[in-house]
Chain A
Amino acid sequence: QKEVEQNSGPLSVPEGAIASLNCTYSDRGSQSFFWYRQYSGKSPELIMFIYSNGDKEDGRFTAQLNKASQYVSLLIRDSQPSDSATYLCAVRAGDKLIFGTGTRLQVFP
C-alpha cells in the first residue's frame, strides 16, 4: 500500500461547480497535511495546509481532515478554467513530506 494515495483522474467539472479532490494516507500518526497545485510544465506550489480535524477555509479553497478515517480532501468552490492543474496531496513524515502522485483536475467552460 502506498503511503499517500490519490485518484489520478482526470476529474472533469464544469465551470462554477465544486471540485472535490481526495487523498488517503497510511500512517495513522501523521499530523500535518498539505495540498500543492502544479500546472502543466511548472513546479508545485503550496495552496493549503491543515493540521487539525475538521475544515479549514481559504477563499475558494477548503481543506478537510478526518484523522480517524485517514483521509484529507480539498474542495474548490466556483471552479474556474484557471484551476485546471494537478493537485498533489502531501503528508508530513518526520522531517520530510511524502507526496501522492496527484489528481488531474479539468474545469471546462
Chain B
Amino acid sequence: DAGVIQSPRHEVTEMGQEVTLRCKPISGHNSLFWYRQTMMRGLELLIYFNNNVPIDDSGMPEDRFSAKMPNASFSTLKIQPSEPRDSAVYFCASSPGGPNEQFFGPGTRLTVL
C-alpha cells in the first residue's frame, strides 16, 4: 500500500528560480497538509486542504508561495521567486479527514543558493 508520495526528493536551485514541489496523498484521504521544517522553527504548517479546497493558508509565509490541489490525488506547492531563506525540508501529509491521523510523505529537501 503506497504511502504519501512526494517529488522531487531533493531540489537545488538558484535564487530567483521557480520551484514546484509535488505531492500525491494516500488514496481515499480527504485532507492534505503542507509543512516546512527547519532547525530554527521546527515543523510549521503552511496550508491545508479538505476535499481539494484550501481551508487555511495563514501559514504561507508570503505571496511568493502558492499551493493548489486540482484533484484528490495531486497537490503542488510553488515558490516563485525562490530565496535562500526558503531552504528547508517540505513535507506533505494526508489524513482520512481532519488533522488527527496524519501520514507524512518522505519530504523534499530544498536548497536555494
A residues with a Cβ closer than 8 A to B are: 32, 34, 42-46, 49, 88, 92, 95-102
> Is B105 in the interface zone, CB < 8 Å from A?
yes
The dominant DSSP class at the B interface is strand
User: How many residues of B sit at the interface, in one of the four size bands?
Assistant: 20 to 34
Give complex CA distance A42, B107 in Å.
Answer: 8
Q: Do B91 and A95 have beta carbons less than 8 Å apart?
A: no
Work out how many contacts link A and B, with CB atoms closer than 8 A. 45
Q: Do A97 and B102 have beta carbons less than 8 Å apart?
A: yes
Give complex CA distance A96, B55 in Å.
Answer: 10
Q: Do B42 and A100 have beta carbons less than 8 Å apart?
A: yes
Contacts of A96 in B (CB 8 A): 33, 45, 48, 56, 99
Q: Do B43 and A92 have beta carbons less than 8 Å apart?
A: no
Q: Do B91 and A43 have beta carbons less than 8 Å apart?
A: yes
Q: Do A102 and B45 have beta carbons less than 8 Å apart?
A: no
Contacts of B33 in A (CB 8 A): 96
Give complex CA distance A42, B37 in Å.
Answer: 12
Q: Do B101 and A46 have beta carbons less than 8 Å apart?
A: yes
Nearest CB of chain B from residue A47's CB, rounded to whole Å? 12
